[in-house]
Amino acid sequence: MGCKGHDFYLKQCLKLAKAAVKHHNMPFGAVLVDKNGKIILEQENIEITESDCTGHAETQLMVQASKKHSKDFLKDCTLYTTVEPCAMCSGAIYWGNVGRVVFGLSEKELLKITGNDEQNPTLALPCRDVFKRGQKDIEVIGPVPELKAELSQIYQDFF
């Protein structure tokens, strides 16, 4: 990967999460980075409705990535996201064939912030556990403690 560190890409995810809030959506953001460190896709959460629950940033990013890039190309990419991918998003990442995931906050840390808020009914199913059940070797890095306070703040403000 290029010379930029994880914090650079996670801060870009945070910008997308803040944009999602401005668009009246949940505060989550994700970016896809190629093997050279270039951001090739960005996605904020989109509206989640009664008839479509798939507006998560990571799932929507994988919809785009799967249409634009081959599985061989995606294997060398890294998906960065503000919070650990949920089970749905982890499945999309797995099926899309992304080789590495880096997240800022764990799902467990998010749960401490959101509690039982009905807007974010977390699953106690870490992405590492989802990926272990599959046949692909997906590297997972996170949570990234250097950005915990900065990332936590947007969720504390929102929830």
Cα–Cα distance, 85 to 87 (Å, whole number): 7
Does an H or E element contain 95, and which?
Answer: helix 87-96
The whole-angstrom separation of Cα 119 and Cα 44 is 16
- pLDDT tens for the 159 residues of the chain, in order: 445 899 999 999 999 999 999 999 999 999 999 999 999 999 999 988 777 888 999 999 999 999 999 999 999 999 999 999 999 999 999 999 999 999 999 999 999 998 887 777 777 899 999 999 999 999 999 999 999 999 999 999 999
Q: What is the pTM of this model?
A: 0.94
The secondary structure of the chain in percent helix, strand, coil, rounded to multiples of 5, reads: 45, 15, 40
Reply yes or no on whether 150 is catalytic. no
- Annotated active-site residue in 42, 44, 50, 58: 58
The Cα 15–Cα 26 span in angstroms is 13
